[in-house]
């Protein structure tokens, strides 16, 4: 699935003034491609990702998902696109305190009446894949920040998303595990023709073949940072 952002602008009110966060941003990600956007804290990375994930409407511009304009839809329609096609790894893992790791992953299938043996098996497999086989029945309060982040990564992969949006996905992880999980996300994207957008203040853990962009002053441009080849 492809993601196209066309001429996206967004400003937030700032006292009597407004502050432009995204200024006519264009971005294309094709199926199976990974794009990484770097920018300082406050540069608008999470805002960009929320717009791509249909969680936030831009002031101007269009989000096109799989060739179809997806801006200005009803909440119901955008929720349906998100549930069926998009996986989001949130910056704060957004887990439900009362649910175990397994239940976090199974929740959407449960609500949709689709929770069967295959889905349960998939939840277990994904939790094992992110190294949480010992923590499957633990609740968020019993987990470290890094473990919560890994639950968030596994959960985003549950619906086999065609578009995967990752907000600082490895920020709470040690460098070695962070790099391993980045490799896993990139592997998932290329194996399942997923379009992958990663936003992060640092892109050090990414292999050098990932397309990199900088977000600065509301504009996206090809990255000028020196690559540390892996
Ligand atoms: P990043 O993820 O790059 O750190 P964000 O996209 O979270 O940046 O935020 C970009 C800027 O917009 C920040 O300065 C932030 O304070 C501001 N901002 C984010 N959400 C809101 C909001 N709902 N209202 C006003 N300002 C906001
Ligand atoms: Mg952010």
Whether the CB-CB separation of 10 and 58 falls below 8 Å is answered with yes
Distance 1 CA to ligand 2 centre (A): 24
> DSSP state, 226?
P
Each of the 230 residues of the chain gets a pLDDT tens digit; together they read 789 999 999 999 999 899 999 999 999 999 999 999 999 999 999 999 999 999 999 999 999 998 899 998 999 999 999 998 999 999 888 999 999 999 999 999 999 899 999 999 999 999 999 999 999 999 999 999 999 999 999 999 999 999 999 999 988 888 888 888 899 999 988 889 999 999 998 777 787 778 999 999 999 999 876 554 44
By the CB criterion, residues less than 5 angstroms from ion ligand 2 are 45-46, 91
Q: What are the C-alpha distances in Å from 117 to residues 114, 126, 153, 191?
A: 10, 14, 21, 23
Q: State how far the Cα of 179 lies from the Cα of 108, in Å rounded to an integer.
A: 28
Using a 10 angstrom Cβ sphere, with 0-12 exposed, 13-18 middle and 19 or more buried, the burial of residue 152 is buried
Closest to 166 (Cα-Cα) out of 137, 205, 127: 205
The model's pTM? 0.93
Tokens linked to 193: 């023709």
Looking at ligand 1, which atom is closest to the CA of residue 13? 25
Looking at ligand 1, which atom is closest to the CA of residue 168? 2
Looking at ligand 1, which atom is closest to the CA of residue 201? 3
Whether the CB-CB separation of 148 and 95 falls below 8 Å is answered with yes
Ligand nearest to the CA of 40: 1
Atom 22, ligand 1: which residue's CA is nearest?
12
Using the structure block, give the residue that is written with the tokens 């941003």.
25
- Residues in contact with ligand 1 by the CB-under-6-Å rule are 12, 21, 39, 41-47
Q: State how far the Cα of 122 lies from the Cα of 128, in Å rounded to an integer.
A: 10
């Amino acid at each position: 699935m492809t993601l196209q952002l066309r001429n996206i602008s967004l400003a937030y009110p700032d006292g009597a003034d407004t502050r432009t966060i995204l200024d006519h941003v264009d971005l294309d990600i094709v199926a199976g491609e990974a794009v990484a956007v770097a920018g300082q804290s406050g540069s608008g990375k999470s805002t960009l990702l929320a717009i791509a994930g249909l969680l936030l409407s831009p002031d101007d511009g269009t989000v096109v998902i799989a060739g179809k304009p997806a801006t200005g839809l009803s909440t119901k329609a955008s929720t349906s696109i998100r549930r069926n096609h998009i996986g989001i790894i949130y910056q704060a893992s957004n887990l439900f305190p009362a649910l175990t790791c397994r239940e976090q992953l199974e929740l959407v299938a449960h609500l949709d009446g689709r929770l069967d043996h295959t889905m349960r098996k998939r939840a277990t497999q994904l939790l094992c894949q992110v190294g949480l086989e010992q923590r499957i029945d633990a609740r968020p309060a019993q987990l470290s920040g890094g473990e919560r982040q890994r639950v968030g990564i596994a959960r985003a992969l549950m619906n086999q998303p065609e578009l995967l949006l990752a907000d600082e996905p490895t920020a709470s992880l040690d460098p070695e595990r962070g790099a391993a999980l980045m490799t896993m996300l990139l592997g998932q994207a290329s194996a399942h023709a997923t379009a992958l957008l990663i936003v992060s203040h640092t892109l050090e853990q990414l292999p050098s073949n990932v397309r990199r962009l900088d977000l600065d002053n509301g504009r996206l441009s090809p990255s000028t940072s020196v690559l540390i080849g892996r």
